[in-house]
Structure 1
Amino acid sequence: MKQEYGYKEYDLVVIGAGPGGYVAAIKAAKKGAKVALFEKDKLGGTCLNRGCIPTKAYARIAEVYDILNRAFEFGFDIKINSFDYTQVVKRKDGIVGELVEGINALLKANGVDVFNAEAKVDKEKNVLFGENKIKAKNIIIATGSSPAELPIEGINSKNVMNSDTILEMTSLPQSLCIIGGGVIGMEFAFIMNQFGVKVSVVEMMPNILPTLDKKISSSIKFAAQKRGIKIYTSSTVERIDEEEGGGSIVTIKSGENIKRIYADKVFVSIGRKLNTDIGPIAELLEFEGKAIKIDEHMKTNIEGVYAVGDVTGKMMLAHVASAQGEVAVDNIFGESNTLDYMKIPAAVFTEPEIGYFG
């Protein structure tokens, strides 16, 4: 059924309420614009609900647990009688929930109209949701990305998780095989290891953390192996088979060598796919590979249409999306602004942690 929502025309419609979208919406509203923000899931996007924030909450808790287990090294005689993982999950959920409420309050305080709906855009720049349609003078596409899938046999078995579903675990496995030794994979490798899980990592490239400096990669590999994390580089996954008694066998290949790894759970962390299914307007947009092509002002090839965040294929980091969102809004309001990606800091929450920029 058709309904009237808010205004018939907005100065700005933002699609996606992740760190790029909600920051842009709030900034535009502060400048006096009438803004609509669409989100089909939860405010905060992947970073807040299934990415940066929950994983860093886990990383901190795992660090504390690890320190307590090594308290004797610091002169303390501490005995840990029990470990309640459900309390860990509860704390993570509490942190996430509090931050989501904070974003909701900020949006409300700044007069942003929030629609909990999936929005598409037609070729006339109308924003469609359900049977409803609104017009927008400007549009920011901030639809983010989703976990990439590995096209192998057994990938959909019950023991296999991605970066979304691993955060839904209510108990810890005894063993975990991580497919993908990038940033997300290695962060979880250390987190789970500190929680006492037996961890194996399979990476198809010659080095883990392949996008970083080789010396850094080697240092983290050494630290991981010292903690008992098994690393298999230059290895591809052939298949995943469920065991009758539970758990899975992950068959990997390195050159001519075949190895089978048993694990209670398998975590697939091989990167992200861009969410570019935004409706008929996608047929008019220019792409660079699978990413929406933007200029230095976050403009697409269509007048009045901007894109920010993962969907642009730039640095896929939450604070980059936020910065892009601010740049896009500045340019919508006639304030020429750009973003220097060489000055963007980043971090990897392994043990030790890594910090870099550029």
Structure 2
Amino acid sequence: MSSQLSQRTDRRHDVVVIGGGSAGYAAARTARDAGADVAIVDQGPLGGLCILRGCMPTKTILRSAEIMALMKRAREFGLAPVNAQADLAAIVDRKNRLVQEFADYRIAALRDPGFTLYESRAEFISPHEIRVGTLHIRGNAFVIATGSRPAEIAIPGLDQAGYLTSDDMLDVRRAPSSLLVLGGGLVAVEFAQFFARIGTKVTMLQRGATLLSDMDQDVGQALEAAFQAEGIEVITGVSFQQVTSTPTEKTVHFRQGSAVHSRSAELIFQALGRRPNLNGLNVEAAGVDVIDGRLVVGPDMRTSQPHIFAVGDVNDLTPIVHLAIQQGETAAWNATHAEGPARVIDHRLDSEMVFTDPQVAVAGLSERQCRARSIPYLTASYPFADHGKAMCLGASHGFVKLLCRPDTGELLGAQIVGPEAAELIHELIAVMYFHGTAQDLLRIPHYHPTLAEIVTYPAESILEQMGQA
């Protein structure tokens, strides 16, 4: 059967991109600009995860909760108290309007006549051919950019009790009275704080030792302290046992240490991660290596088949949008430039942001990574609670931490938990881009009073440790 299928080809393209999200569109655009005949295959809805279910909708609703939280603090700033009430349906409507604007722009780009767009599902029938609807399409190169989907976690009774994923939570139009959040990663913490701020009683159950357990421990601990100050219950180090339910509530039973506990709520938000979306793609026919459900790629974004690339969430390397775009551009360049050295991804400046309050931003190496790789480092931190501009803003949670080489003071990494952390980290990324040092941070003028000048204090401490103060 497969030999018969391979003899039939209805269409041919130089590069076939499967998936039209951020990574896929970046690959398609780069390949087109290199002069390739490019096809995009996307079964829809068009727009991609970031626009439809990720970055843009979540940041939109978080802004509403941020404003509401400030309104509730009016008396603290010498203002008359405000009786702030959230209208979740109106928040969702605003989110939908903005998402549609973003999606319309992306859809127009995908339908540009410079591409051939197939709005259908793709299925590999050989390493060089896919089935798209009733068509068989052959490509000189393929870029798989099919994104991710919520992970399915086996907890006894969870399916029967019912739960919502991050995809579902964006469309909830009535705030539940109480919410159990399973997980403590980026998605879990953003949604947890949003619902807590609009009036839901939130309990977080995290398997790791801290929130954001992939980061350094002090980062998660600082965020946990801020959450608890807002009334969010955070329970870490749990092992899920089972879920039971009644018509009015759902109960999660879990072990913490040697004891078994339980918490109940109206709804359960299952935020225990996402998985590469390979459903229906038939990657077995493509002959690419798959490990633990993800497509294995090298630094040039090639899979085990040199003409097939995998970018974005589907390779599960760094599920961050700007890095997915970089991967897409790298894959397309390599797919269209057979001559010369391949382009590869440099992860030295990798960063991640979490848009809670306080925000979390990390860049470069963490202490955990330095220890694992036996990289020597010096570190110093400084709290926002002792920083003038932060005190004026009433934003006292968190800190700035720098990691530097002991011999030169070159900045290896940075972590910020605090106000506008996602903006502030970019100064440190810029310094790292030029292989700058703690001394450079002190030489760069910083206006007073600003949040940005806080980075000079740990830089001073680093130089003291180096004997250069």
Check whether TM > 0.5: yes
Deviation per CA, 1:187-222, whole angstroms, max 9, x where unpaired? 111111111211100011222211011111110111
Q: For 1:146 and 1:356, locate their aligned partners in 2 and report how far apart those are by CA, in whole Å.
A: 24
Unaligned runs of 5+ in 1: 1-6
Deviation at 1:315, TM superposition (A): 0.8
CA separation of 1:148/1:280 partners in 2, compared to 1, >3 Å: closer, same or farther?
Answer: closer
Deviation at 1:81, TM superposition (A): 6.2
Asked if the contact 1:26/1:110 (under 8 Å) is kept, the reply is no
Instruction: Give the alignment of 1:149-168 within 5 angstroms.
Output: 149-157=152-160, 159-168=162-171
- The alignment status of 1:117 with 2:120, answered yes or no, reads yes
TM superposition score normalised by structure 2: 0.71
**Of 260, 266, 269, which residue of structure 1 is paired with 2:262?**
260
**Of 133, 136, 139, which residue of structure 1 is paired with 2:139?**
136
Deviation at 1:133, TM superposition (A): 1.0
Taking only aligned residues, the RMSD between alpha carbons, in angstroms, comes to 1.8
Deviation at 1:291, TM superposition (A): 2.1
Deviation per CA, 1:51-79, whole angstroms, max 9, x where unpaired? 12111111111101111122222222253
- The alignment status of 1:191 with 2:194, answered yes or no, reads yes
Aligned to 2:37: 34
**Structure 2 counterpart of 1:212, one-letter code:** M
Asked if the contact 1:159/1:264 (under 8 Å) is kept, the reply is no
**Of 272, 275, 278, which residue of structure 2 is paired with 1:276?**
278
**Structure 2 counterpart of 1:145, one-letter code:** S
- Of stretches 105-114 and 260-269 in structure 1, the one that deviates more from structure 2 is 105-114
**Of 185, 203, 213, which residue of structure 2 is paired with 1:182?**
185
Is the partner of 1:33 in helix, strand or coil?
Answer: coil
Find the structure with the greater CA-based Rg: 2
Q: For 2:64 and 2:283, locate their aligned partners in 1 and report how far apart those are by CA, in whole Å.
A: 45
Instruction: Give the alignment of 1:224-239 within 5 angstroms.
Output: 224-239=227-242
Aligned to 1:346: 352
Q: For 2:185 and 2:283, locate their aligned partners in 1 and report how far apart those are by CA, in whole Å.
A: 34
Give identity over the alignment, percent: 30
**Structure 2 counterpart of 1:295, one-letter code:** G
Instruction: Give the alignment of 1:187-336 within 5 angstroms.
Output: 187-244=190-247, 246-277=248-279, 278-279=281-282, 281-282=284-285, 284-334=287-337, 336=342
Aligned to 1:17: 20
Deviation at 1:281, TM superposition (A): 4.3
Q: For 2:202 and 2:126, locate their aligned partners in 1 and report how far apart those are by CA, in whole Å.
A: 49
TM superposition score normalised by structure 1: 0.93
**Structure 2 counterpart of 1:273, one-letter code:** R
Q: For 1:32 and 1:251, locate their aligned partners in 2 and report how far apart those are by CA, in whole Å.
A: 58
Deviation per CA, 1:206-256, whole angstroms, max 9, x where unpaired? 222110111111101111111111111111222222223x12112121133
CA separation of 1:316/1:275 partners in 2, compared to 1, >3 Å: closer, same or farther?
Answer: same
- Of stretches 207-216 and 281-290 in structure 1, the one that deviates more from structure 2 is 281-290
Q: For 2:221 and 2:309, locate their aligned partners in 1 and report how far apart those are by CA, in whole Å.
A: 39
Unaligned runs of 5+ in 2: 1-9, 365-469
Asked if the contact 1:159/1:247 (under 8 Å) is kept, the reply is no
Aligned to 1:337: 343
Asked if the contact 1:9/1:136 (under 8 Å) is kept, the reply is yes
Deviation at 1:329, TM superposition (A): 1.1
Deviation at 1:280, TM superposition (A): 5.0
